[in-house]
Amino acid sequence: MKKRKCNINKYSRGKGRIPKQKIALFMIVRWSIMIIFSFLMIWGGLLFGLRSTNITLPIFSCPANNVQLTETSCYFLSHPKDLFTELPVKSIIIFFVSTLLFSILLGRVMCGFLCPMGLVQDIMDKIRGTTKTKGISTNEKLYSAFKPIKWFMILLFFGLGFIGGNFCNFCPAITVSPILAGIGVSLYVSGFLMICILIGSFFKRRIFCNICPLGYLVGLFHKLSLFRIKKDCIACTECGACYEACPMGIKTIYTERDKADVTEANCIMCGECIKCCPEDNALSLTCAGFKLYAASRKHVMSGYASKEVKR
């Protein structure tokens, strides 16, 4: 079967060529969950007087914020010596069980739906769209440049703790939850990196998610997660819109021609690929086999229709 030559540049999200579509219910739900969960992660413990120290989430819930609602696995994963010397055996078991349970059941849905750091990045992207500023067009060279940075962050995350270092001094995420909760923290390099992330997120959506070591760890369990991205290869026309829309640069989502399951470790389940897919049911997001969100030609064309009406 001869493959069609695709020109993904005509769908360039960075250049703003995709007409504005009607807001899908899925996106409303996703943003609502992100906002509510981020609010609870930052101020939940302070407002409700509750705090869970037994169950840990493998996602950004900064340990420097001592009034947050839930405990995080981030600190102990990057400080293994503290994990095995400060906690009793029972707490260590609960730590690993809860972390694995959430990683397996949810996978990187936590990155796309629950992470406060993700919300901050998405807000920067929305600001760019509102100001009609041109973003950075995605390409393979850009995502290749992220790889060495990602592996360096992973090395710092898992390695510093063994030599007495503190990954928190290099983590840009530490500038979000503690400061917003009114807690003073020493920023060190992390403050400078957060400024870079904010600027980068303005021009390239979810830039930190491409190098986040904790997100990478959660992504390792993507084959066991209940959430999947499914593709109807017959319906797919290889237009490349999904790849251009993907903030994680997952190219196989449009190059795959055989498998129905195109879920990858880097996928944060944001639904942007489905939102921009112009073929009915060519792409869909499922949970335990149930379809939650599917591509719709009518939805994509609604943007073009609105554009024509304005003319």
Domains defined along the chain, listed by start:
28-219 (no CATH), 226-310 (3.30.70)
Q: Rounded to the nearest 10 degrees, how much is the dihedral formed by the CA atoms of 47, 49, 52, 58?
A: 10
Query: What's the sign of the alpha-carbon dihedral 266, 247, 232, 110?
Result: positive
pTM here is 0.86
- pLDDT tens for the chain, 311 residues long, are 444 444 444 444 444 445 566 788 999 999 999 999 889 888 888 888 777 667 788 877 788 888 888 878 888 888 888 888 888 898 889 888 888 888 888 889 999 998 989 999 999 999 999 999 988 877 888 899 999 999 999 999 988 888 878 898 888 888 888 888 888 888 888 899 999 999 999 999 999 999 999 899 899 988 889 999 999 999 999 899 999 999 999 999 989 999 999 999 999 999 999 999 999 999 999 999 899 999 999 888 876 655 554 55
Half-sphere exposure of 128 (CA within 13 A, CB side): 23
In 3-state terms the chain splits into helix, strand, coil percentages (rounded to 5) of 55, 10, 40
Interacting residues of 92 by C-beta distance below 8 A, sequence separation 6+:
83, 84
Q: Which two tokens stand for residue 248?
A: 């994680």
Running DSSP on this structure, what letter comes out for residue 198? H
Q: Which two tokens stand for residue 102?
A: 């959430």
Chain position carrying tokens 């609010």: 39
Chain position carrying tokens 């060529």: 17
Strand 52-57, strand 70-72: pairing: parallel
- For residues 239 and 278, the answer to whether their CB atoms sit within 8 Å is yes
Could you give the angle at the alpha carbon of 113 between the alpha carbons of 130 and 205, nearest 5°?
40
Query: Which candidate, 17, 304, 291, places its Cα nearest to that of 282?
Result: 291
In the chain, which residue ranges form alpha helices assigned H by DSSP?
25-48, 74-78, 80-86, 89-106, 109-113, 116-130, 140-159, 177-180, 189-203, 213-219, 241-245, 252-255, 272-276, 297-310
CA distance linking residue 198 with residue 238, whole number of Å: 33
